[in-house]
Amino acid sequence: MSVISLFNLVLGMGIIRRLREHTEILAGSGSQEGLTQPGHRIDDVAVATLGGGTFARDSLAGPTLVAFFMPGCAGCKIALPEFIREVGQGRYAGHRVIGVVNGSGEEADALRDQLAALVDTVVPTATRDVIKAFDSSVYPAFYVIDETGTIRQSSTKLAEIDLPVPAVAGN
């Protein structure tokens, strides 16, 4: 009987180890499939944000970071705290940051509210328009677009996004 118990213990430990390895691979894979690549100009879009403003391709004033999240997405759960920390610490000061949450229900609403406290966040009824304009189908996704609406950087990892330091007026 103790041999069977020992066998079950070893087997269980092996399964747990493999599950952890698999989770690490999925979380760190950074698959670029479904991510629109630099050089692509986003489609014309003009949508409202929760704060009462608008996000429109034709009125961009400079580099803009657009972050796409979806409730229930494992990669989003990993990326969201980093995004909130980076925005809160002023990493993107001087740049416009737009949050986009794909989904409905309580979890999506809570995520939208969390983002809206820090950045311009697209209203729920316009989310699909923004997703279509970017032709993006992976989450999380981070894009830097220039004043023409052309994607300059794209990644599933926020750490790979590097916004230029904004010019100081008068210099």
**Confidence (pLDDT) at 28:** 45
For the domain made up of 46-160, give the CATH fold: Glutaredoxin (3.40.30)
Examine the pLDDT at 27 and tell me if it is beyond 50. no
DSSP letter at 61 equals -
- 71 neighbors 101 (Cβ within 8 angstroms): yes
Q: Which helix (H) or strand (E) holds 9?
A: helix 2-28
Q: Kindly report the pTM of this predicted structure.
A: 0.78
- 54-56 and 64-69 strand pairing: unpaired
Q: Give the mean model confidence (pLDDT) for residues 102-125.
A: 95
Task: Determine the pLDDT at residue 11.
Answer: 63
The ranges assigned to domains in the chain are 1-30, 46-160
Q: Which of 19-28, 44-53, 131-140 has the lowest mean pLDDT?
A: 19-28
> Which structure tokens are listed for 30?
């950074």
Query: In which order are the strands placed within the sheet that holds 141-145?
Result: 120-121, 96-101, 64-69, 141-145, 151-155
Element (H, E) at 97: strand 96-101
Q: How confident is the model at residue 26 (pLDDT cuts 50, 70, 90)?
A: very low
Beta-bridge mates of residue 48? 54
Please give the Cα distance from 146 to 64 (Å, whole number).
6
Does pLDDT of 169 surpass 60?
no
